[in-house]
Structure 1
Amino acid sequence: MPYLGGIVFLIWVAALIDVIIADEFRVRHLPKVAWVLIVILIPLAGSLVWFLVGRPEGGAPVPPRTTGFPEYERPEYKAAIAAREEEEFRRRVRERAEAQRRRAEDDGE
């Protein structure tokens, strides 16, 4: 039983940190400030209620990676870039293979 206070403290700290870093618009049922007060004033019960009722559902949303230029986000642009890079890669492979072939012929003579 001596560890009960430590466990309650850890749950309280975890809930307080979770409330503070949660996005305001994702917090459920009450405003974020109200949740902070509930967790601070009623440590164990407030923390448990936060985890069960107030915490945002799911993980943190991952924002899509964008360049900031919508014209570069179009699928046609990405396909064209991929095809160009693929062609460039194939050209370099052909050049490297040809250079190796010439070196092998020069060494063999």
Structure 2
Amino acid sequence: MPRLLFGLGLIVIILTVYALVDCALFDRSRIRGLPRWVWIFVIILVPVIGPLLWLFVGRGRKRAPVGRMPRASAPDDDPEFLRGLDREKKERERIRLLEEQLAKLDDPEAGPGTPSQPNKPGQPGTAGSADASGVDPKKSDPGEGDLPGRRDA
């Protein structure tokens, strides 16, 4: 009789340790019924029934049967994908507008300060104009406007 009790006790300990380790390492999305920490307490505090409950109730099955691939959805069924397309479209439009503005700045006939249209003193944003302090920004910094034919100065 003591051998039988020792054998049953050893089986219960092995079952409890197995269930405890399995519960601790099991994928969280597949645990059913209770949170993981509650299952660990049940396995430890209820000697035989706790591990058996974990093995038969708490462990969830795999989502897809073995050998079958999960069904792929079309990209236009995914709202995150559609939001990404909308962001891409807005970003492309913004880049297009910025490129148009840059092209207008580079166009020698379109903007003031180009060699074809001489600047008039006193016009804001042109060479020879003074800011509110009365100091010409082009003349105060010797590095600006030194280069002939430079349009961005």
TM-score (ref. length: structure 2): 0.37
Q: Which amino acid aligns with 1:53?
A: V
Task: Write the distance in 2 (CA, Å) between the matches of 1:50 and 1:13.
Answer: 12
Partner of 2:16: 12
1:4 partner amino acid: L
2:58 equivalent in structure 1: 54
Of 15, 31, 38, 2:42 maps to: 38
Q: Which amino acid aligns with 1:31?
A: P
Q: Is the 8 A contact 1:15 1:50 kept in 2?
A: yes
CA distance in 2: counterparts of 1:33 and 1:25, whole angstroms:
14
Higher relative contact order (CA 8 A, sep 6+): 1
Alignment of 1:23-102 (within 5 A): 23-58=27-62
After superposition, give the CA deviation of every residue in 1:31-70 in whole Å (9 maximum; x if it has no partner).
Answer: 11110110011121100000010012149xxxxxxxxxxx
Structure 2: where are the runs of 5+ without partners? Answer: 64-153
C-alpha displacement of 1:19 = 0.3
| Paired residues, number | 63
Higher helix share: 1
Which TM-score applies when normalising by structure 1?
0.51
* Cα pair 1:22 1:56 within 8 Å, conserved: no
Structure 1 stretches of 4+ with a deviation exceeding 3 A read none
In structure 2, what is the Cα distance between the partners aligned to 1:47 and 1:32?
13
d(CA) in 2 for partners of 1:23, 1:58 = 10
